[in-house]
């Protein structure tokens, strides 16, 4: 938190022109050091420092996004979070989202439930909504430009018209509001593994459904930029997927 809204915050551009701050790199270094000390042998994958393969007997990896929402962070918008996921093989089995500027954390694992609160000691169970009709649903998306680039802008605009309300909360926050039952659909056309890995166990443990645009289980892609997500409360999933989904190449 000490670097949030700091006057001397250093921000540079990555090769893909997305911003990275000195806070991103320092947070990831600290998390890596803690995991290396307490989970030796497990693999590590982080947005800023890449992959360290597992050396132990188990195929486990920790996936780290030190600051999800860096653009918000550098502009002083408090909607950003640290995301940490545990993967067994390619399957996310536990996730943690910590948003200190919002004073809130979310965590979950299938079979153990999903929780939210200011800290682990005061967490309360969360679950998705029971909305069953798109006309009653709250729809959330990331950016319209991303959907335009994916060639799916028109279906997204139609879905916005057909739902009760639509908002662009973006990044981790839409998924966590979905897990809490505050909204019903969250969609993104392009993600990296560190953007989504921690969110999947929380959404599913809260009773939601999350797939790619092809309808396969999320994250379902490679490390960077080839993952998409449709997350819903469950009852709405087939309808949303039929509207926004793209067929699997044969």
Give the CATH number for residue 201.
3.40.190.80
Is 195 part of any known ligand binding site? yes
Cis peptide leading into residue 122 (ω within 30°): no
Whether residue 5 is contained in a domain is answered as: no
Instruction: State the burial class of residue 103 (Cβ atoms within 10 Å of its Cβ: 0-12, 13-18, 19+).
Output: exposed
pLDDT of residue 6: 45
Whether 106 and 162 map to the same domain: the answer is no
Q: Residue 186 belongs to what domain range?
A: 134-245
pLDDT of residue 213: 93
pLDDT of residue 104: 96
Q: End-to-end distance of the chain based on CA atoms, in angstroms?
A: 48
User: How many independent structural domains does the chain possess?
Assistant: 2
Is 136 part of any known ligand binding site? no
pLDDT of residue 5: 47
Least Cα distance to 236 among 156, 143, 163, 142 occurs for 163
Task: Give the end of a domain, one of 86, 105, 125.
Answer: 125
Task: Give the end of a domain, one of 125, 154, 186.
Answer: 125
Task: Give the end of a domain, one of 86, 106, 125.
Answer: 125
Whether 68 and 121 map to the same domain: the answer is yes
Whether 107 and 138 map to the same domain: the answer is no
pLDDT of residue 15: 47
Domain containing 70 — which CATH number?
A: 3.30.540.10
Is 68 part of any known ligand binding site? yes
pLDDT of residue 50: 86
Whether residue 1 is contained in a domain is answered as: no
Is 48 part of any known ligand binding site? no
Whether 17 and 112 map to the same domain: the answer is yes
Check if the beta carbon of residue 117 is closer than 8 Å to that of residue 107: no
Dihedral over alpha carbons 172, 178, 180, 184 (to 10 degrees):
160
Residues with Cβ within 8 Å of 48's Cβ and at least 6 positions away in sequence, in order, are 20, 24, 25, 28, 66
Whether 148 and 56 map to the same domain: the answer is no
pLDDT of residue 221: 55
Is 65 part of any known ligand binding site? yes
Whether 120 and 174 map to the same domain: the answer is no
Low-confidence ranges of the chain (pLDDT < 50): 1, 3, 5-8, 15, 17, 249-250
User: What is the reported pTM?
Assistant: 0.89
Whether 143 and 88 map to the same domain: the answer is no
């Amino acid at each position: 938190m000490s670097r949030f809204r700091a006057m001397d915050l250093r921000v540079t551009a990555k090769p893909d022109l997305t911003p990275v701050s000195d806070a991103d790199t320092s947070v990831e270094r600290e998390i890596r050091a803690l995991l290396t000390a307490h989970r030796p042998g497990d693999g590590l994958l982080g947005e800023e420092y890449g992959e360290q393969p597992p050396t132990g007997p188990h195929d486990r990896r920790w996936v780290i996004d030190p600051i999800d929402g860096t653009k918000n962070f550098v502009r002083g918008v408090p909607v950003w979070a640290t995301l940490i996921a545990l993967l067994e093989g390619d399957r996310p089995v536990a996730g943690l989202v910590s948003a200190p500027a919002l004073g809130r954390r979310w965590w979950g694992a299938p079979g153990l439930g999903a929780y939210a609160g200011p800290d682990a000691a005061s967490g309360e169970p969360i679950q998705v909504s029971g909305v069953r009709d798109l006309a009653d649903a709250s729809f959330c998306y990331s950016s319209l430009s991303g959907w335009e680039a994916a060639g799916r802008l028109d279906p997204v605009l139609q879905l916005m018209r057909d739902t009760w309300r639509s908002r662009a909360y973006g990044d981790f926050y839409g998924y966590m509001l979905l897990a809490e039952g505050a909204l019903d659909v969250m969609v993104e056309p392009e993600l990296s593994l560190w953007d989504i890995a921690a969110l999947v166990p929380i959404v599913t443990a809260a009773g939601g459904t999350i797939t790619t645009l092809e309808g396969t289980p999320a994250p379902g892609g490679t490390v960077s930029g080839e993952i998409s997500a449709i997350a819903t409360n469950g009852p709405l999933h087939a309808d949303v997927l039929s509207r926004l989904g793209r067929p699997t190449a044969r």
